[in-house]
Amino acid sequence: METRAATELWARSQFGTADLGDARRSKRLVRCLVRACERPSGKLSEVFVSACELDAAYDFVESEHVRVERVEAAVGRATARSCRGGGRIRIAVDGSSANVVDRTNQKGFGQIGTNSTTARGLKVMTALAVDQDGATVGVLAQSYWARPVGRPRRSAARKALDRARKSPAQKETRHWLEVIERAADRLDEEQTLGWFQLDREGDAWPTLRALDHSGHWFTVRSAWDRVVEGTGRDRYHLRAHMAARRPIATYELSVSAGKARQARQARMVVRAASVTLRLHDKRTRKMLPLTVNIVWVREQGTTPRGEKPLDWMLLTNAPIGDVEQARDVVAGYATRWRIEDFHKSWKSGACNIEHTQLRSRDAVIRWATILAVVAARVERLKHLSRTDPSRAASDEFTRIELEVLMALKRRYKKRTESVPDGTPSMTQAVRWLADLGGYTGKSSGGPPGSVTIARGLDRLRTAVEGVLAMRGAHK
């Protein structure tokens, strides 16, 4: 299969069902995704080579007739279809900020960062689907918004009071709720059970209740030492209640070195229990009981001096009837980090949306949504190359792509390297791609990242187009 045809087939699976009011707009959306896959960049001028295509792309992303929510819906439904039959699907939900240049303050962007900064951009909440092997599937839902510029300075006490007076619909919490609801509805359409994974910012009573009512599993890392219902009038706090429980298991966790963190084999102690939490709505002064399972994993006896022990207090509605189920909750939460990698690839890595020079907020959102699909695909490729080394590259690459990739590798290989005649593995193919993109391994010593993989894909697809053009000319 020719690579352009394969890419267009995949692009149609993502955006072919987009209801944009005109079939020509849907075709243009597919074409934009094809080009973005070939040359991902935040700047349209670096993606579209011909002046004709560039003008058409600008017309599309700046058109008021292309409704942002319909583009997002097409992406989410395509991801939900890819999740069907894929085993246990985990959905990492988290927010981020995209810093976009707005020197005139007339593009409709909002303030990001603290009140003391002048940075402008957009806030975004994303629900990212991850398969049972930990590989990214795609974007299930997204919500963009702009914060007000020049927000008044307030004391911490005043901020807390203002928050307590507002309903969830009046806070940024509403974006968490919207994304969770949309992701759940799209999975329901495909009869697929999801497992939401949220960090501590998701530990708020509206979010917990929305997850509980979604009909799907969830795991949320606790941010608060909440009150637990006891017997009679007894009340306990969550950490004290869990500390009184006997451990159900211990295991060794390999911890890599990081900022202010030493590498080590950490001894992790696991406790589990079912509790009823007393959630407090400060605006209505109502107590809202919520029964959840708790899996508490804490480092014991191996923490270096000066460091805090590893500590995850996880709230979940997934079963914890035995040690394996409790460990599964912990393993599921660990996949939440996929969304951190996705945000990096999307914002400043392979796709570089923060370098966009589009002139309006809606135009940036349309283009950012397209690039989010590309970033998810790059992250999937990167993960598979690292975790499934025996997997055949033909699962993710077309025949012509592999043919040209191997030819390029033979041309630019080192004297000590050999290139096999058969189909390479995913790890081999991605490493060759990264080599084309400038990867040397000397600066980090780690495996290839999304930036060098994306550069390699760009060079590969350019070479493939040349080969196909030559073959066509000789027919």
**Do residue 293 and residue 242 come from a single domain?**
yes
| Average of per-residue pLDDT across 93-101 | 89
Does one domain contain both 371 and 419? no
Q: Is residue 138 part of a domain?
A: no
pLDDT tens-digit map of 269-315: 999 999 999 998 888 888 899 999 999 999 999 999 999 999 999 99
Residue 78 domain-assigned (yes or no): no
Mean pLDDT across 176-203: 96
Considering the domain architecture, whether residues 407 and 439 belong to the same structural domain is answered as yes
Per the structure block, which two tokens stand in for 7?
């890419």
The continuous run of DSSP H or E covering 454 comes out as helix 450-473
Question: Residue 451's domain spans which residues?
Answer: 389-473
Q: Do you know the residue count of the chain? A: 475
**241 with 265, same domain?**
yes
318 assigned to some structural domain: no
DSSP 393: G
The three-class DSSP label of residue 11 is: helix
The verdict on 249 and 306 lying in the same domain is yes
What is the distance between the alpha carbons of residues 249 and 334, in angstroms, rounded to a whole number?
18
Burial of 174 (0-12, 13-18, 19+ CB in 10 A): middle
Specify the pLDDT at position 1: 35
As for how many domains the chain has, the answer is 3
Task: Confirm if 199 and 222 have CB atoms less than 8 A apart.
Answer: no
**How many Å separate Cα 406 from the centre of its chain?**
31
The mean pLDDT of 391-408, rounded to a whole number, is 82
- Average pLDDT score over the chain: 86
Report the run of H or E that residue 94 belongs to, with start and end: strand 89-99
Asked if the structure places residue 422 within a domain, the reply is yes
Residue 138 φ/ψ region, left for φ over 0, alpha for ψ in the -120 to 50 degree band, beta for the rest:
left
Is 294 in the same domain as 234?
Answer: yes
- Regarding whether 455 and 396 lie in a shared domain, the answer is yes
H helices of 20-150, where?
A: 23-38, 44-47, 51-61, 68-83
Is 306 within the bounds of a domain? yes
Q: Which residues contact 291 (CB under 8 A, 6 or more apart)?
A: 274, 275, 276, 277
User: Has residue 121 been placed in a domain?
Assistant: no
Report residue 115's pLDDT band, with 50, 70 and 90 as the boundaries. low
**Which pair of tokens denotes residue 219?**
């795991």
Q: Are residues 12 and 63 in the same domain?
A: yes
Judgement on whether residues 375 and 416 belong to the same structural domain of the protein: no
Same-domain status, 238 and 257:
yes
443: domain CATH number is: 1.10.740.10
Q: Are residues 254 and 273 in the same domain?
A: yes
d(CA 419, CA 401): 15
Q: Assign 269 to helix, strand or coil.
A: strand
Same domain, 46 and 21: yes
Q: Is the pLDDT of residue 116 over 70?
A: no
Whole-prediction pTM: 0.85
CB 306 within 8 A of CB 275: no
**Residue reference for tokens 């020049």:** 150
The pLDDT tens digits of the residues spanning 192-234 come to: 999 999 999 999 999 999 999 999 999 999 999 999 987 556 6
Contact 96, 126 (CB under 8 A): yes
Any domain includes 405: yes
Question: In the structure encoding, which two tokens stand for residue 241, read together?
Answer: 């209640």
Cβ proximity of 190 and 80 under 8 Å: yes
In a domain, 58, yes or no: yes
